[in-house]
Amino acid sequence: MEELKRILLVEDSPNDIELTLSALESNHLANEVVVVRDGEEALDYLYRRGIFKLRAEGHPAVVLLDLKLPKVDGLEVLEKIKADPELKTIPVVMLTSSREEPDLKRSYMVGVNAYVVKPVDFLDFVEALKEIGLFWAVLNQPPPGSVSRLG
């Protein structure tokens, strides 16, 4: 198997976290998945501060970002990432329930790499995550500086 890369999952719903992890697992995308519960934690992780102060260097291969998050919402996180020259090369995939045009539009304006609406049907969801994982965490060559789990 290819060298597996780290995925940052930003999600506040425990149910969604469990289902997402389960779906990733069932797709054998056994990357290291770091789960953070809100936008602030996500930024802390990326900037290696707060509880992530001591984490190893390197960026995740992909950020799976929910739109509706406590404290700092997904769009703000996206904006911060894409506005920072250091972080903006990290691929960000919006993983959300919203199909609203304004959300879509704003996300793309800011520079989101992909926008995926979570399907209600679990099997469809598994399928969707499989494709996301395969592409971003396996097929896609992340920019230099990303860390692999083994690295």
The two structure tokens encoding residue 106 = 């704003």
Residue 119 found at the interface with other proteins (CB under 8 A): yes
Q: Which segment (19-27, 29-37, 56-64, 80-88) binds other proteins by CB under 8 A?
A: 19-27
- Give me the count of residues in the chain: 151
**Contact call for residue 37 and other proteins (CB under 8 A):** no
Strand 62-65: give its sheet, edge to edge: 33-36, 7-10, 62-65, 92-96, 114-117
Q: Which residue in the set 1, 2, 15, 144 belongs to the binding site for other proteins (CB under 8 A)?
A: 15
What does DSSP assign to residue 120?
S
103 contacts other proteins (rule: CB under 8 A):
no
User: Pattern 56-95, binding to other proteins, x per CB under 8 A?
Assistant: ----------------------------------------
Strand partners, 28: none
Task: Pick the binder of other proteins from 4, 7, 46, 125 (CB under 8 A).
Answer: 125
Q: Is 141 in the site for other proteins (CB under 8 A)?
A: no
Distance CA 21, CA 19 (A): 5
- In the numeric block, the tokens 């990357």 are attached to 31
Q: Are 45 and 77 in contact (CB under 8 A)?
A: no
Please report, as a single letter, which amino acid is at residue 40.
Answer: E
- Answer for which of 27, 89, 97, 140 binds other proteins (CB under 8 A) is 97
Return residues touching other proteins (CB under 8 A). Answer: 13, 15-16, 19, 22-23, 97-101, 118-123, 125
